[in-house]
Amino acid sequence: MIDNENTFSVNKEPGDTLIVVDVQNDFMPGGALAVTDGHEVVPIINRLSPGFDHVIITQDWHPPGHVSFASTHNDLPFLKRNVGYGEQTLWPDHCVRGTQGAELHPGLIRPTMELAELIVRKGRDAKRDSYSAFIEADRHTHTGLHAYLTTHKVKRVFVAGLALDYCVAATAIDAANLGYETYVVLDACRAVSEAAMALADERMRYAGVRYTRSTMIRTYW
C-alpha cells in the first residue's frame, strides 16, 4: 500500500491536464474484467475534472480475436504467452469495440464527458495490446497523445482511473519518461492486486511519478 508520507499537496497551474484511464463498464463490478470497487472512482473524477484546463479520456477498444484475449490462443486467462512484441498477459475477452462492456461508465457523462476534448482509443490493433495512453505494447507505436499535449504546451499531467497497477501505471510512467511532471491521483484509482501494485509502485517511483489525492489538489481560482 502507498502511505500518506509518499503523497504530495499540489497547487493547480494553468495548462494542467487530467488523463482519465479506461473507466469502462467491463472494468466495473460485474464486468468481464472487473476491478474491485472500480465504480468508486467515477464521482471523484467528476469532481476533479472541472478544475483542469484539459481533460483526456482513454478507452480500451479491442477488436474480436485480440492478441491479449486468452480465447484467441485457446488458453486460460491470466497466463502469460510470448507474442510478436514480447510477453503478453492473457485476459478474458473485454472492452470489445461496439459492445456495452467497452462503453464508458454512464456516470462520467456529467461533467467529465462534457469537458473531455479528446478520447484516445487504445488496443485497436488485433495484433498489438496497449496499456499506456502514450505508447503501445510494442514500445514503438505512439498513440498521438504526446503530440497532442505538446501542441497544447502541456507540462503537467494528473492520471486517474483503472486499473492503477496496469493501465494507469503504464500511462503515468510513459508520461514521466516523456518529460511531463506526472501525478497519480490515488483516491481516483483502483488496483487489481497487491502483488501487481507493488511492482507498479516500484516502476512508477523509478520513473519519477508522484502521488497525490483529490483532496490535496488546490485549484488556482
CA angle (48, 51, 55) in 5-degree steps: 75
Residue 80: active-site member: no
Q: Which helix (H) or strand (E) is 198 found in, with range?
A: helix 194-207
| Burial group, residue 89, by CB count within 10 angstroms (0-12, 13-18, 19+) | middle
Residue 60: active-site member: no
Residues ≥6 apart with Cβ < 8 Å to 66: 72, 93, 96, 123, 126, 129
Cis peptide before 163 (omega within 30 of 0): yes
Kindly report the number of other CB atoms within 10 A of residue 174's CB atom.
Answer: 22
Catalytic residue among 22, 26, 93, 165: 22
Residue 22: active-site member: yes
Considering only CA atoms, give the Rg of the chain: 16
Catalytic residue among 26, 95, 167, 189: 167
Bridge partner list, 217: 10
Quote the CA–CA distance of 171 and 185 in Å, as a whole number: 13
Catalytic residue among 93, 95, 122, 201: 122
CA 116 to chain centre: 15
DSSP 167: I
Active-site residues, by number, are 22, 122, 167
